[in-house]
């Protein structure tokens, strides 16, 4: 990496760097934080340090959840990962005039934050006249949340608008396969809800460009849908990603991928489009046959690809018909190493399976026999009791049987209570087992990967072959058949005879023989 020391002083300080890339150690006002209610219940919150009552809350802006209310003031300035206690917030008496349904706190958290962020400015203007300090939050007796730094994974899981989302199992694999690394220029078409955008920014980030000519890793994102484009634009700005993502509102089928006529020089491409084959011709090295109309004499066709590197492409299509068409187009356009895969991701639950007749009554325990022995013992016991009952005579009637059974259950409870007192540890009992989660995503989309090698002109080839002329080969590397090996040996021996002094030759030749076959065999063992 080209770290130059003078850059350090010029580099934007951490307040400008996106919280996704450098969250710092504590939560900051106006920053994005992910509030975690429970494992799959995440709420993105833009923290506000309101100067007075906000939206009817004396404590300023408040996050209301089903686990309690959390004024932003309790979420700001704490280390990431902190557990935050709920506060006593008066949610009942505020803003009766407003239409908001107070009883429905848990349900409208998302709306709350979205609306809260937008209203923040208005409220502040109104609130400034009063100059009232927000009421200090008092801690409630129960309820808590955790506050986490934003990462693409958490953002994806908490996305406020659920259009098409590329989830972590897919994007992690895609970014790995299309070689999105620090410094990569990446084209993304179909920004959608922005999950892939955030993940690819993290992958390509190698510093903010300091000037227009400073070439850094960057994501060029294209969105056709006007409203989604607007929403994304606001979102990217508020996430501090403006210098790292270039978002364009465009129909890429028609207008391709250049930005203001300038090539993004991409080496990685992700197409989440309904018809990738319509966009593929734009991603050529030279003007494609089907697009003769594009580009004229004075306005030549410019490839959006990096002319010096192979381009790695992935398309994301849910239907097999789309894949067939895409692959066919790829073959005709010179893409190689075409491969189609589908990602099957499963989340796995871990729990303790508690089965047995003699377990204490508690949630999750299955009070049935744990094994045949237990079942048999139980049956034998019952059988014995019936026999006893028969022997004692028929006169006693049904009442007694009932008493017997009752006594039995009471006994059982007593046993279980004793077990609990004797140190029954519910979290350690039972067999530890795993199984798939209740709901499985069986199909997201088909991923088609392909590579387009760089163009190689005759001039470049001539230069390379002049620099590296052939005919002077000294030894053989790679697989050797018997004959070649013998020839190699003969050559070495001859060389030794001719020039006794040239001993180093043999060593080098042997090293060369060993190297490709076993590059690190010694250290492995």
Partner 1 sequence: MYSVVQPNGWVALRLPSDTTKVLQVIPNTTISLGKYGSFPSNLIIHRPFHLTYELEDKREDESYCRLRVVPPSELYADVIAEEDEAQGCTTPGDQSDKILSATDGVEFSLVDDDGKVIAKSNRETIDDNARQTLTMEEIEELKREGTGAGKDIIAKLLLSHTALDQKTSFSLAKYKLLKTRKYIRRFQVLPLDVPLLGKWMLEEKDAMRVMEMRDEMIGLVGCWANVHYAGEDVTLDELNASRRGATNEEVTDEDRLKGLEEEVKPIDGRWLVIDDTSGFLVGAMAERMGILYQEEEEIKEQPTEQAVQASSEIKAENDTSNEIDQTKPKEQTAEQAVQVSSELEAENDTSNDIDQTKPELRKLALPKKLQPRSHDFQIPYSQTNTITLLHAASQPNLSFLTYYGFDVQNPNHPPHPLINHLLPLTWLQLLHPEKDSAYTTPPPHLPQEKLTAMKTNRRGGYHRKRRRYARVRHIVDSARAGNFSGLAVASTMEPISILQHTLPLLAGGAPIAIYSPSIEPLSELADCFSVARRSAWMSPETAPPETIGKTAAELERWEGNDDFPLNPTLLLNVMIQTSRARRWQVLPQRTHPVMTDRGGSEGYVFTAFRARPAEGRVEARGKHTAKRRKVGEKSADASAAGTPAPTEARVGGHS
Q: Rule CB under 8 A: is residue 1 a binding residue for partner 1?
A: yes
Sign, CA torsion 375/376/379/385: negative
Specify the 3-state DSSP secondary structure of 450.
strand
| Rg, C-alpha atoms of the chain | 34
Region from 258-266, 268-276, 290-298, 344-352 binding partner 1, contact rule CB under 8 A: 344-352
Q: Rule CB under 8 A: is residue 516 a binding residue for partner 1?
A: yes
Q: Least distance from C-beta 14 to partner 1, angstroms?
A: 9
Q: Rule CB under 8 A: is residue 422 a binding residue for partner 1?
A: no
**Which of 114/356 has CB closer to partner 1?**
356
Angle of helix 398-421 relative to helix 372-391, nearest 10 degrees, comes to 140
Region from 45-53, 89-97, 119-127, 333-341 binding partner 1, contact rule CB under 8 A: 333-341
Q: Least distance from C-beta 176 to partner 1, angstroms?
A: 4
**Which of 135/389 has CB closer to partner 1?**
135
**Which of 224/424 has CB closer to partner 1?**
424
**Which of 124/451 has CB closer to partner 1?**
451
H-run or E-run covering 148: strand 139-148
**Which of 110/429 has CB closer to partner 1?**
429
Specify the 3-state DSSP secondary structure of 236.
helix
CB neighbours of 86 closer than 8 A, spacing ≥ 6? 67, 68, 69, 70, 139, 140, 142, 143, 144, 145
CB neighbours of 235 closer than 8 A, spacing ≥ 6? 194
Place of tokens 């501090």: 240
Region from 202-210, 279-287, 378-386, 410-418 binding partner 1, contact rule CB under 8 A: 202-210
- Interface residue with partner 1 among 199, 245, 269, 365 (CB under 8 A) is 199
One DSSP character per residue, 155-217 reads: HHHH-SS-SS---HHHHHHHHHHTT--TT-EEEEE--TTSHHHHHHHHHH-S---SSTT----
* Strand bridging mode 139-148 / 32-38: antiparallel
Of residues 297-326, those binding partner 1 (CB under 8 A): 308-310, 320, 323-324
Region from 21-29, 234-242, 279-287, 398-406 binding partner 1, contact rule CB under 8 A: 21-29
- Interface residue with partner 1 among 111, 132, 341, 414 (CB under 8 A) is 341
Q: How far is CA 124 from CA 51, 53, 132, in A?
A: 7, 9, 11
H-run or E-run covering 454: none
Of residues 50-89, those binding partner 1 (CB under 8 A): 66-68, 74, 77-86
Of residues 205-264, those binding partner 1 (CB under 8 A): 205-207
**Which of 261/471 has CB closer to partner 1?**
471
Q: Rule CB under 8 A: is residue 275 a binding residue for partner 1?
A: no
Q: Least distance from C-beta 393 to partner 1, angstroms?
A: 46
Burial status of residue 135 (CB atoms within 10 A of its CB: 0-12, 13-18, 19 or more): middle
| CB-CB neighbours of 282 under 10 Å | 23
Interface characters, 96-125, with partner 1 (x: CB under 8 A):
------------------------------
**Which of 60/68 has CB closer to partner 1?**
68
Q: Least distance from C-beta 23 to partner 1, angstroms?
A: 7
Q: Least distance from C-beta 222 to partner 1, angstroms?
A: 23
**Which of 77/274 has CB closer to partner 1?**
77
Of residues 135-194, those binding partner 1 (CB under 8 A): 137, 139-144, 146-149, 151-153, 168-169, 171-177, 179, 181-183
Q: Least distance from C-beta 388 to partner 1, angstroms?
A: 40
Of residues 347-386, those binding partner 1 (CB under 8 A): 347-348, 350-352
Q: Least distance from C-beta 504 to partner 1, angstroms?
A: 5
Q: Rule CB under 8 A: is residue 419 a binding residue for partner 1?
A: no
CB distance 333 to 281 below 8 Å: yes
Q: Rule CB under 8 A: is residue 3 a binding residue for partner 1?
A: yes
Q: Least distance from C-beta 346 to partner 1, angstroms?
A: 5
Specify the 3-state DSSP secondary structure of 62.
strand
**Which of 337/396 has CB closer to partner 1?**
337
Burial letters for 239-248: b for 16+ Cβ neighbours within 10 Å, e otherwise?
A: bbbebbbbbb
Of residues 448-487, those binding partner 1 (CB under 8 A): 448, 451-454, 456, 461-481, 484
Q: Please state the length of the chain.
A: 525
| Count of residues of this chain found to bind partner 1 when the rule CB under 8 A is applied | 143
* Strand bridging mode 139-148 / 68-71: unpaired
Largest CA distance in the chain: 121
Q: Rule CB under 8 A: is residue 290 a binding residue for partner 1?
A: no
CB neighbours of 124 closer than 8 A, spacing ≥ 6? 50, 51, 52
């Amino acid at each position: 990496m080209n770290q130059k020391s003078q850059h350090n002083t010029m580099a934007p300080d951490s307040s400008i760097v996106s919280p996704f890339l450098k969250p710092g150690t504590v939560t900051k006002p106006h920053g994005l934080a992910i509030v975690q209610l429970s494992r799959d219940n995440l709420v993105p919150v833009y923290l506000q340090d309101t100067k007075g009552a906000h939206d009817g809350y004396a404590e300023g802006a408040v996050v209301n959840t089903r686990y309690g209310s959390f004024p932003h003031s309790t979420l700001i300035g704490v280390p990431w990962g902190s557990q935050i206690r709920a506060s006593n917030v008066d949610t009942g008496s505020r803003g009766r005039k407003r239409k908001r349904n107070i009883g429905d706190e848990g349900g409208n958290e998302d709306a709350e934050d979205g609306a809260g962020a937008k209203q923040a400015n208005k409220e502040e203007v109104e609130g400034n006249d009063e100059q009232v300090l927000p009421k200090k939050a008092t801690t409630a007796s129960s309820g808590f949340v955790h506050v986490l730094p934003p990462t693409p994974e958490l953002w994806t899981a908490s996305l406020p608008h659920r259009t098409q989302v590329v989830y972590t199992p897919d994007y992690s694999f895609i970014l790995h396969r299309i070689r999105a690394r620090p410094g990569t220029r990446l084209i993304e078409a179909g920004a959608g809800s922005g999950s892939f955008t955030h993940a690819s920014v993290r992958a390509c980030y190698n510093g903010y460009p300091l000037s227009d000519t400073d070439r850094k890793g960057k994501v060029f994102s294209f969105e056709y849908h006007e409203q989604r484009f607007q929403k994304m634009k606001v979102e990217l700005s508020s996430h501090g990603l403006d210098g790292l993502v270039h978002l364009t509102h465009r129909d890429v089928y028609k207008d391709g991928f250049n930005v203001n006529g300038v090539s993004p020089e991409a080496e990685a491409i992700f197409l989440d489009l309904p018809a990738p084959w319509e966009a593929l011709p734009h991603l050529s090295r030279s003007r494609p046959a089907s697009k003769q109309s594009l580009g004229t004499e004075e306005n030549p066709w410019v490839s959006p690809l990096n002319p010096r590197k192979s381009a790695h492409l992935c398309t994301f299509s849910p239907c097999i018909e789309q894949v067939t068409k895409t692959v066919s187009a790829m073959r005709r356009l010179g893409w190689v190493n075409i491969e189609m895969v589908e990602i099957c991701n499963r989340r796995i639950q871990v729990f303790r399976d508690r089965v047995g007749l003699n377990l204490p009554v508690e949630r999750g325990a299955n009070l049935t026999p744990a094994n045949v022995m237990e079942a048999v013992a139980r049956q034998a016991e019952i059988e014995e009791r019936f026999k006893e009952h028969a022997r004692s005579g028929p006169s006693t009637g049904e009442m007694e049987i009932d008493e017997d059974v009752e006594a039995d259950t009471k006994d059982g409870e007593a046993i279980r209570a004793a077990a609990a007192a004797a140190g029954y540890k519910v979290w350690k009992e039972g067999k530890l087992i795993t199984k798939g989660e209740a709901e499985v995503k069986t199909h997201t989309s088909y991923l088609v990967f392909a590579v387009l090698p760089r163009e190689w002109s005759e001039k470049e080839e001539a230069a390379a072959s002049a620099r590296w002329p052939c005919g002077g080969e000294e030894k053989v590397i790679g697989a050797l058949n018997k004959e070649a090996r013998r020839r190699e040996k003969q050559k070495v021996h001859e060389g030794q005879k001719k020039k006794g002094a040239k001993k180093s030759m043999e060593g080098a030749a042997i090293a060369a023989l060993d190297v490709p076959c076993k590059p690190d065999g010694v250290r492995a063992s």
